[in-house]
């Protein structure tokens, strides 16, 4: 969570019977030992309390995202579920064929929704790969191996696209897509 409003939303989502507004949030902070300051000050103190949620808040942010939306994002046995022209399956990864810029794609996004997209690139020595949610703005063109996270809004299309440059010689080990809620 990056700010007080996100924390309030998560707390109210986990405690729907309590009601909304700063009064309920204030009571929650007071019952958790954070009292005497403003709601903003106490929220900051709660977040700084060893980096852990207190009371009945979740220690994981998984509840702030939808379940996994992709089919076969781990490329377990093949590239089923993906449109993969000029990509091949290789030991649990999607391997790009150099000389082509055809994206690895999968449908299922909803236009206007915001998605957290995480993917891992391995074996890359040349080129880059960029992720897109629909036909709108793209994420960063990644030019190294590693795990990358993008938060993008799907626009114009329901496709997730991983677009390589023609000289990209790496593989995608996995992709996860979750809607922010």
CATH number of the domain at 162, please. Answer: 2.60.120
**148 and 91 within one domain:** yes
pTM: 0.67
Nearest to 4, CA basis, from 22, 18, 19, 24: 22
Give the C-alpha separation, 30 to 19, whole Å. Answer: 16
Q: Is residue 80 part of a domain?
A: no
- Helices 39-48 and 4-14: angle between axes, nearest 10 degrees: 80
CA–CA distance from 59 to each of 15, 41, 71, 129 (Å)? Answer: 15, 20, 27, 33
56 and 94 assigned to the same domain: no
Local confidence pLDDT in tens for the 181 residues of the chain: 345 555 555 555 555 555 555 566 556 656 665 555 554 554 544 444 444 444 434 434 445 778 899 999 999 999 999 999 999 999 999 999 999 999 999 999 999 999 999 999 999 999 999 999 999 889 999 999 999 999 999 999 999 999 999 999 999 999 999 998 7
DSSP 8-state code for residue 36? S
Q: Which domain holds residue 154?
A: 87-179
Domain identity same for 32 and 95? no
N-to-C CA span, the chain:
12
**Domain count for the chain:** 2
Query: Does residue 73 lie within any of the structural domains?
Result: no
Tokens found for residue 65? 């995202």
């Amino acid at each position: 969570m990056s700010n007080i409003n996100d924390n309030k939303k998560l707390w109210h989502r986990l405690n729907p019977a309590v009601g909304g507004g700063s009064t309920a949030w204030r009571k929650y902070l007071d019952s958790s030992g954070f009292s005497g300051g403003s709601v903003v000050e106490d929220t900051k103190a709660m977040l700084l309390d060893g980096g852990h949620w207190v009371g009945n808040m979740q220690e994981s942010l998984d509840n702030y995202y939808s379940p996994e939306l992709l089919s076969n994002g781990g490329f377990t046995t093949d590239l089923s579920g993906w449109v993969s022209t000029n990509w091949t399956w290789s030991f649990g990864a999607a391997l790009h064929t150099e000389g082509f810029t055809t994206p690895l794609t999968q449908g299922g996004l909803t236009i206007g929704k915001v998605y957290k997209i995480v993917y891992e690139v391995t074996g890359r020595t040349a080129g880059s790969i960029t992720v897109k949610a629909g036909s709108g703005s793209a994420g960063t063109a990644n030019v190294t191996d590693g795990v990358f996270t993008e938060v993008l809004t799907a626009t114009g299309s329901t496709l997730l696209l991983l677009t390589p440059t023609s000289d990209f010689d790496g593989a995608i080990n996995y992709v996860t897509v979750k809607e922010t809620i």
